[in-house]
Amino acid sequence: MVSKKVILTGNFGVGKTSLFNRFVYDRFSDKYLTTIGVKVNKKVTQVNGEEISILLWDIAGEVSQDKVPVSYFLGAAGIIYVFDLTRPLTFENMDRDIEHLRQLLPDSVIKIVGNKKDLLSEDEINKILEDLTQECKITTSAKEGTHVEDLFKELGSELLQSS
């Protein structure tokens, strides 16, 4: 079985921990608890008939924040950059953050994910995605579980192809 380290990163309050909990435990809580440091867990999942063990790191804070040790990112084969579809402030620095991640981990697969899609209409989501300079192919709702499993299956598939 292949094992890969995957980082969940992005601004505060975008739903990284909610995505983590939905994927690993299939649960959601409305209570906001800020992550301090890093939270790590593992889930084995099936992708294209092959098992992959995803070691998921939920990292607190922004990508380029000085308080987040670079060592948290090292060895990551995949990165999920999460932004909040309802808060433009969370994707204002996306270009800079993605560039930083590409320099730090040039061989990693990066998925850009708009979360909290349950709070907007499809038209509102499409308008936001049109205006982004980075390509975001997947939008999720950790609350409803929408596309969360799809996100990890798609990432898992790309990680298996790159090994």
Q: What share of the chain is helix, strand, coil (3-state, %, to 5)?
A: 35, 30, 35
Annotate 73-137 with three-state secondary structure. Answer: CCCCCEEEEEEECCCHHHHCCHHHHHHHHHHHCCCCEEEEEEECHHHCCHHHHHHHHHHCCCCCC
Cα separation, 48 vs 70, whole angstroms = 32
Q: Where are the domains of the chain?
A: 2-162
Cα separation, 37 vs 141, whole angstroms = 24
pLDDT score at 61: 67
> 59-80: per-residue pLDDT in tens?
876 666 565 678 888 999 999 9
pLDDT band with cut points at 50, 70 and 90 for residue 54: very high
Tokens coding 64: 């380029």
pLDDT score at 59: 87
**Spelled out in words, what is the top-level CATH class assigned to the domain 2-162?**
alpha beta
> 2-39: per-residue pLDDT in tens?
999 999 999 989 999 999 999 999 998 777 566 556 78
Please tell me the pTM assigned to this model.
Answer: 0.92
* pLDDT of 126 higher than 70: yes
pLDDT score at 162: 82
pLDDT band with cut points at 50, 70 and 90 for residue 154: very high
The residue-averaged pLDDT of 101-125 equals 96
From residue 103, give the alpha-carbon distance in Å to each of 36, 108, 121, 130.
Answer: 25, 10, 35, 25
The residue-averaged pLDDT of 119-134 equals 95
